[in-house]
Structure 1
Amino acid sequence: MSDRKFALAVAATGTAVLAMMPGAPTASAAVSELTVDPSLSVGMSTNYGTGCIHYLVARLSVGIVPVAFYDNGALLAVVNPTDGIATIPWVPSSTGGHSLVALQDGVGRGVDVSVGRGYRFGESCVVTGG
């Protein structure tokens, strides 16, 4: 075996051993962005209303790890992402401030929204207050 081939074999073996060692670096899951889609809701102060259907959308760095969604600390749902995005419908049940959070593997993003009173008209929603 030539010196060059021997050096390549040693380097490849060392790389393989390092990759198998405990504590080797791995890709970390994380929510890179959380947005609240108001859907067909409109209002003067806020577009988010009680009884209206909105969508929480989490964009992810790793698209295979489940995502947990929270509203004011209460678990809403845990969902499996599709194509690097996790989405759930959100229908607020109370007016006022809502702190929404999406967590993936313990890392997440949050957003605060103000919720007014919603009045549904078919698929759309008119929001007052907030």
Structure 2
Amino acid sequence: MRITIIAAIAAAAGLSVVAAPVHATVTNVSVNIASNEKTGTGCQYKVTANLAAATDTALVHFYDNGTEFATAKPYNGVASTPWSPKTKGDHVLRAGQPAAGFPMVKATTVEGINTGSGCLPLG
């Protein structure tokens, strides 16, 4: 009832009421590598977050070992961003929305050579 009254007052005053972004749960995070493949430093990969609702419009935040490296707006329930690991070792990649939680995927990174058309992990 209160939202209806506020919307009616705003409409009467010539103002528009904008709905807040819809939040849904990120159900899966993945990196475009084979399950046994390692990632390489200096190479670029695509990190993808799948959301529970295709209508979700809230930004998805992507983290590498706890440090945010990108945000992406979802489209049809999927948000993706490029990721280039800067350090060797294990990386825990998480994606989520602050109101909904952060699933994760792990990637082991070794020294890599970016060939221009792909990546050659050395290890």
TM range (shorter): 0.7 to 0.9
Alignment TM-score, normalising by the size of structure 2: 0.73
Q: CA deviation at 1:28?
A: 5.5
When the two chains are superposed, the root-mean-square deviation of aligned CA atoms in Å is: 2.0
Identify the residue that residue 30 of structure 1 maps to in structure 2. 25
Separation (CA, whole Å) in 2 of partners of 1:122 and 1:28: 37
Task: Choose the corresponding residue for 2:39, options 32, 48, 51.
Answer: 48
Task: Choose the corresponding residue for 1:73, options 66, 71, 77.
Answer: 66
Alignment of 1:1-130 (within 5 A): 29-38=24-33, 46-62=37-53, 63-104=56-97, 105-129=99-123
Q: Is the 8 A contact 2:64 2:93 kept in 1?
A: yes
Q: Which has the higher strand share?
A: 1
The percent identity for this pair of structures is 32
Structure 1 gaps of 5+ residues are 1-16, 21-26
Separation (CA, whole Å) in 2 of partners of 1:89 and 1:54: 6
Letter in 2 for 1:55: K
Q: Is the 8 A contact 1:29 1:107 kept in 2?
A: no
Letter in 2 for 1:97: D
Separation (CA, whole Å) in 2 of partners of 1:84 and 1:71: 21
Q: Is the 8 A contact 2:60 2:96 kept in 1?
A: yes
Alignment TM-score, normalising by the size of structure 1: 0.69
Higher Rg of the two aligned structures: 1
- Deviations along 1:88-127, whole A, 9 cap, x unmatched? 0000000001010001233121011100111111211110
Structure 1: 4+ residue segments shifted above 6 A: none
